[in-house]
Structures are given as C-alpha cells and as structure tokens.
Structure 1
Amino acid sequence: MPLSPAESRELLHLRDIDIRGYLRTDGMLDIEAHMVDTKTYSFGNHDRGQINAGEALHGMWLRLTVDTGLTVRRAEAAMDSTPHAICPGVAPNFARLEGLTIGRGFLKGAMERVGGTQGCTHLRELLQQVATVSIQTMFSIKAHKAAREGGASEDRWEIPAALLNSCHAYDEEGELVKAVRERAAARALSAV
C-alpha cells in the first residue's frame, strides 16, 4: 500500500544507503554499508568551496566483519566525501568496534567506543542498520544451508527468542507466534 498522495513539493535532499551482507569463504560475514548524501542545489562550504547539485556532501563506508556468534572481528570506515576536511580523521577509530557482539547492548558499547567526538554521527547512524543486516544475513546463511541440504520448509521455522516482543508481528501473545508454536507442537506430536 503506497503512502497517501503528497502535496506539491520540491526535492532538496537525498540520502541513499546501501547495506550488503556477504558470506566470506572463511565462514565469517562482511556487512558493508555505503551512505551518500546529496542536495538538489549548489551551495558554498567553508572547507570545500562550492558543492554542486548532485555532488556528494557525505560519501561514507562502514564494514564490519563478524563471526558466526555475531562478534565483530574487524571494523573499518572510510570517508570519500565529507563537509569538513577534518572528518576523515575519525575513520580509524571505528576499529574500536572490534570485540563487540551484535545483540543486546551493542549500540551502547559502540557509543562508548566511537561516541561524541571520537566518531562520526553519520557512521554511527549506520550501526543500527548494519547490526540488523548482520542478523538477517546470519538467518540467510542458515536458510541457504538448509535449502542445500534438502530444504527446511516454512512450517519448520521457529521464531528466535530474541525476536519475541521486538515488534507487532512477534508479539508473544499475537497470532503469528501462536500459529508458529501450534505448528511446532503438532510436529512434536507427530514425531512421537
């Protein structure tokens, strides 16, 4: 269902974010994010001079390499375009994310390591989405492996405990959770 029709308007700012989850040959995951901000108009900047319409104001990369337990084994940031010449100086600080585990407390731990003046607002904003894509990629690995081994069907899917009560769909008193639990109970009875 689309949004309601918009009023007459003019596009001024674009933020494009691409996040990809890769399975590496060594069994670890690379989660790679790229964010680009552009404007539809040209404007002046004290460090860069004129920034033309469509030219990147922010062009930033973040890659986390995580193991199967979702522990960050390597973190790397790069800044192709920034509004200020000083900004790329904090990119190496994102290596401090190494050792954190994606899950409860991840964002708090990240803020302790690259928060405030030790990091970049724009790269920190990507961390929530990178964490989510890490989890989704881990689910993809398990599903892909099951499909190669004869396929786990949809009726065998179980809701991970970490997802319970995380959103409307996973309300542990809701219809979806009830239906999944009923299918699991029926499978257990038929196995007896």
Structure 2
Amino acid sequence: MPLSPPAPREMLHRREIDIRGWRREDGLYDIEAYLLDTKAHPFENEDRGTIRPGEPLHGLWLRLTVREDMEIVSAEASSDHTPYAVCPSAAPNFARLAGLRIGAGFNRAVAERVGGALGCTHLREVLGQMATVAFQTLYPIRAQREREETARILAGGGAVPKRRPAMLGSCIAYAPDSPVSLARWPWLKDAAAKDQAAE
C-alpha cells in the first residue's frame, strides 16, 4: 500500500542506496553497497565547480567480505564521485574493519576504527544497512545448518538446546509473544508460561 498522496512539492535531493549480498566461489560472502546522491538543481562546489541536476555529488562504493560466522575478512571502499578532492583519502581506512564481527557492538567498533575524521560519514551510515543485508544474505545458509544440526542431535537421541533466538524482540513480528515467534519457536510458549507462574 503506498503512502498517502503528498502535498504539492518540489524534489531537491535524491539518495539511492543499492546493497547486494553475494556468495563467492571460495566460500566467503561479499556484501557490496553503492551510494549515489544527486540534486535536482545546479549548485556551485568549491572543488568541482558547477554540479548539474542529476550529476552525482556522491558516488561511493563499499564492499565487506565476510565469513559465515559474520566476521569481516576484508573491507574495501572506493569513490567515483565526491564533493571534495580530499574525500577519497578516507577509503583506505575502511580496511580497518577487517576482524570485526557483525553483531552486538558493531556500530561502536565501526566508530572506533573509521569514526569522525578517520572515515566518511556516508559510508559509515551505510554500514548499518550492510550489516542487515549480511544477516539477510546469510540467514538461509545459517538456518539450514542449524536445521541439519538439530536433525543430527535428534537422530542421536539428544535434546536440542533451547537458545534465545537472536532475532527475538528485534521487531513487532519477532516480539516474544507474537504469533510468528510462537509458531517458529514453540518452546517460547513453555518459557512464557513458566515466567507467568513465577510471578
């Protein structure tokens, strides 16, 4: 369903972000982003002169190569278009992201390595979205491995450990008491009943 009809307006700025997840032949995964900023009107820039409507103000690339466990093996940034001649000098600093794990504390660790004058605001902002795309890219693969592990445990007569799912509580669909969560993790019903009994 689309948004409600807008008030009369004039477009001034457009940002497009394209993020894709790839499986590599070597068993690693590339999460690649391209950020494009354009204006709907001409304006003067001290380094580039007149930037025309639709001409890229920013054209920035960022690639994270990750393992299945979400550890960043390497990171590479590149700039096709920037407002200032000095901007591309931030790109090599993004290699410092290697060794980080996408998960809790990721944004803080990113800020420590490429925050402020060490990096590029726009590339830093897109990293949070890239982390989400990394989860989306790897989720089917990790879920299949988890199902296979569960089947092996059950086939051997063992009990499957009931770990708190990482996505639990992350959005309305995965609220602990939502129909989606309870259907996906039926043991949550038992945990909720125990919590209520303890109260």
If the length of structure 1 is used for normalisation, what is the TM-score? 0.85
Give the equivalent residue in structure 1 for 2:170.
166
Percent identical residues = 53
1:2 shift after superposition: 1.2
Structure 2 residue 31 is matched with structure 1 residue 31: yes
Instruction: Kindly provide the amino acid, as one letter, of the partner of residue 169 in structure 2.
Output: N
1:181 aligned residue (171, 177, 185)? 185
- Number of equivalences: 174
Q: How does 1:131-142 map to 2 (within 5 A)?
A: 131-142=131-142
Give the equivalent residue in structure 1 for 2:195.
none
Q: Can you list the C-alpha shifts for 1:46-85, whole angstroms capped at 9, x where unaligned?
A: 1110101100000000000001111000000001111111
CA distance in 1, matches of 2:5, 2:144: 39
1:180 shift after superposition: 2.0
CA distance in 2, matches of 1:35, 1:144: 32
For structure 2, list consecutive stretches of 5 or more residues without a partner in the other structure.
Answer: 147-162, 190-199
Contact 2:39–2:53 (CA under 8 A) maintained in structure 1: yes
Instruction: Kindly provide the amino acid, as one letter, of the partner of residue 114 in structure 2.
Output: V
If the length of structure 2 is used for normalisation, what is the TM-score? 0.82
Contact 2:176–2:188 (CA under 8 A) maintained in structure 1: no
4+ aligned runs moved over 4 Å, structure 1 = 142-146
Distance 1:9 1:173, change over 3 A: same
Distance 1:129 1:160, change over 3 A: farther
Instruction: Kindly provide the amino acid, as one letter, of the partner of residue 110 in structure 2.
Output: A
Distance 1:37 1:160, change over 3 A: farther
Instruction: Kindly provide the amino acid, as one letter, of the partner of residue 117 in structure 1.
Output: A
CA distance in 2, matches of 1:7, 1:144: 47
Contact 2:68–2:142 (CA under 8 A) maintained in structure 1: no
Distance 1:126 1:26, change over 3 A: same
Q: Using CA pairs below 8 Å that are at least 6 residues apart, which structure has the higher relative contact order?
A: 1
CA distance in 1, matches of 2:24, 2:118: 30
CA distance in 2, matches of 1:47, 1:127: 27
CA distance in 2, matches of 1:71, 1:182: 30
